[in-house]
Amino acid sequence: MSTSIDVRSSFFIVTGGAGFLGRYVINELRVKGCAESQIIVPRSAQYNLTQLDAVQRLYAIAKVRAEGRPIVVIHLAAKVGGIGANRENPGKFFYDNLIMGVHMIEEGRRAGVAKFVCVGTVCAYPKFTPVPFREDDLWNGYPEETNAPYGIAKKALLVQLQSYRQQYGFNGIYLLPTNLYGPGDNFDPASSHVIPALIKKCVEAVNSGADHIDVWGTGSASRDFLYAPDCARAIVMATERYDGAEPVNIGAHREITIRELATLIAELTGFRGELRWDASKPDGQPRRCLDTTRAKELFGFVATTDFREGLLETIKSYRAEAALPSHR
């Protein structure tokens, strides 16, 4: 089985391609020479991927549009959110993420796709995984409780891909990105992750003259944040060059506590007020930082974006979208 995918001569289905990470993946494919006519981005209004008939219809249309080109699936579609959203929707996060992936992989096998790239989640790791997280630790415990249904649903797709490779010779790979951030992120307080949530709070506090913001948890938890365009580059590199059964971490290999993060975002947004920590709210997983050795060795990926610069670009993007003035 060939390990090489030629982006310019393949046809791509990118589920979740209209989302935050998806838009960067689409852009990366275009940079690599993939024409717009060679990409289909199923939108949920037309293709509800939790419904088998919608997935079958998607593959049927893709086979016609591919015109004989090999079909490559990059499966990014997911029901996601921060700690609060995970706590409020455990059943939906489990079912939607599991069933979308199961349908896409099974029907992709039946349709004879050339390659299936499944993007998992760092939430699949056990709660107390030693830092840095190594792929071999993935099954050494239960995930952190607040996002376990989501993490387990996504991790089950790894098992599906590995078993399909063994039984059917199905060419599927599984990538494990860490927490992402960047311009175009989700800033909705009901579902956003920690970086966009903090940026929104700090920017709004600056513009309203508020003397404090409330922050969930104790600040002691740590995370490894990856700039979304870097993640997109890693996904396309893996699509082109990696063809193996083992999962691969995608991260920046940089650990920062939430307290340090909040202080840095306050500085970059110009917020000089108090950070009030609400210890009644959960911290989530105690520590997160990925070992990225495998990604470098297998397909040459190394994150390149400076964290401070990435945050500044994200803050700038949020202010532009919200039509808010920049801090002077």
Mean pLDDT, rounded, for 198-226: 96
Cβ-contact 116, 168 below 8 angstroms = no
Task: With a cut of 50, say whether residue 7 has pLDDT above it.
Answer: yes
pLDDT at residue 39 in the model:
98
Mean pLDDT, rounded, for 133-149: 95
More confident residue, 82 or 36: 36
pLDDT confidence tier of residue 13, bands split at 50, 70 and 90: very high
- What is the average pLDDT score of the chain? 94
pLDDT at residue 245 in the model:
97
pLDDT at residue 3 in the model:
55
pLDDT, tens digit, 9 for 90 and up, residues 74-125: 999 998 777 777 788 899 999 999 999 999 999 999 999 999 999 999 999 9
Q: Which fold has domain 194-220+256-285+312-321?
A: UDP-galactose 4-epimerase; domain 1 (3.90.25)
| Domain positions in the chain | 7-182+225-255+288-305, 194-220+256-285+312-321
Handedness of CA 83, 221, 265, 306 (dihedral sign): negative
Q: How far is CA 266 from CA 149, 173, 202, in A?
A: 32, 39, 6
Cα–Cα distance between 101 and 120 in angstroms, integer? 10
More confident residue, 83 or 160: 160
Task: With a cut of 70, say whether residue 324 has pLDDT above it.
Answer: no
Instruction: Record the pTM.
Output: 0.93
Instruction: Find, among 179, 174, 143, 149, the residue nearest to 161 by Cα.
Output: 174
Task: With a cut of 70, say whether residue 325 has pLDDT above it.
Answer: no
Q: What is the CB-side half-sphere exposure of residue 301 using CA atoms within 13 A?
A: 30
Strands of the 172-177 sheet, one edge to the other: 39-40, 11-15, 71-75, 115-119, 172-177, 248-250
Contact partners, residue 124, CB within 8 Å, separation at least 6: 138, 143, 151, 152, 154, 155, 158, 176
pLDDT over 70 percentage in the chain: 98
pLDDT, tens digit, 9 for 90 and up, residues 175-194: 999 999 999 999 988 888 89
Task: With a cut of 70, say whether residue 328 has pLDDT above it.
Answer: no
Identify whether 150 is a catalytic site residue. yes
Mean pLDDT, rounded, for 273-279: 96
Instruction: Find, among 182, 155, 117, 121, the residue nearest to 316 by Cα.
Output: 182
pLDDT at residue 1 in the model:
44
Cβ-contact 104, 55 below 8 angstroms = yes
Catalytic residue among 150, 164, 174, 227: 150
Strands of the 222-227 sheet, one edge to the other: 179-181, 222-227, 255-257
Q: Which fold has domain 7-182+225-255+288-305?
A: Rossmann fold (3.40.50)
Here the tokens at position 180 are 């992402």
Task: With a cut of 80, say whether residue 169 has pLDDT above it.
Answer: yes
Q: Are strands 172-177 and 212-216 parallel, antiparallel or unpaired?
A: unpaired
Q: How far is CA 106 from CA 78, 113, 168, 171, in A?
A: 17, 10, 11, 12
